[in-house]
Amino acid sequence: MSACFPPQPHVKQSLQRHGKYQPFRFSKIVSLTLLASAFCFFADPALAQNQPPPQFTALFNGQDLTGWRGGSTFDPVKLAAMPEAERTKQIETWTKSMQQHWHVKDGELINDGKGDYATTVKDYGDFELRLEYKTVAGADSGIYLRGCPQVQIWDINQPSLPTAPDRNPNKGSGGLFNNTPKTPGRDPLVVADKPFGEWNQFRILMAGTRVSVWLNDKLVVDHAVLENYYDSKRQLPVPAVGPIQLQTHGGEIRWRNIFIREIDKEEASKIQKSRTS
């Protein structure tokens, strides 16, 4: 970076004494450096996106579907227990469907509202997940954690209906919608969604079975238990590990800047103890 600025007076005097100060040459270096910087700045904006912050890993590289497979609303424990050939065939079927409806453009991961879900090839345990999304009217989406539904994404302009009293999109996105109605975390604490056309930002922290969610820097789920959707009695905990899934249906949704930080057992334990002590 120092090459972009002229030398300080004491450095200039030293260079002049040794016959090494050449202002014209230095000026050319500065000009070339600024030109190169300008070129990088005005290059494809996708290059500036999808770059993870310190300690985070990018799940989406901004260029293609590397690291992603297809998936559906399917118990990850049951999937893992399948014979290998059967499991491989099932994943191939989901992936074929996913690839028909997901594509990458300008550093964004785009779904047309159809097909199976974008699912990480890798499984995760405890983690901090950050991502951005932008959707349209009528769309319905969500984020599966360890393969379990879900941190909900709504079109919040939809009204509550007497025929579906537990479906309330106008309460906002970010709630654990597949939890038992009226339990903590099932509906968000506040409405934090941005208008259509603007990017929304999620921060999701999962430690053990506990989940906290921030939408656009507002806390919407506070250390709530994510119930195991695949257990009809809701007695078994969610799996210890599983994939991240981007669920979608009903309308286009776009994703970018999808980053994850894996949390070790010590940190996860501190998070849980800090809320129970």
pLDDT value at position 107? Answer: 97
pLDDT value at position 48? Answer: 65
The amino acid sitting at 67 is G
What whole-number distance in Å separates Cα of residue 112 and Cα of residue 60?
18
Question: pTM of this prediction?
Answer: 0.83
**Ranges of H-type helices in the chain:** 9-17, 23-41, 76-81, 84-101, 265-276
* 226 close to 209: Cβ distance less than 8 angstroms: yes
SS3 15: helix
DSSP 107: T
What whole-number distance in Å separates Cα of residue 67 and Cα of residue 122?
7
pLDDT value at position 43? Answer: 43
CA 264 to chain centre: 19
pLDDT value at position 24? Answer: 38
pLDDT value at position 6? Answer: 42
Q: Which two tokens stand for residue 14?
A: 């030293």
The amino acid sitting at 119 is T
Helix (H) or strand (E) holding 122: none
Low-confidence ranges of the chain (pLDDT < 50): 1-18, 20-43, 47
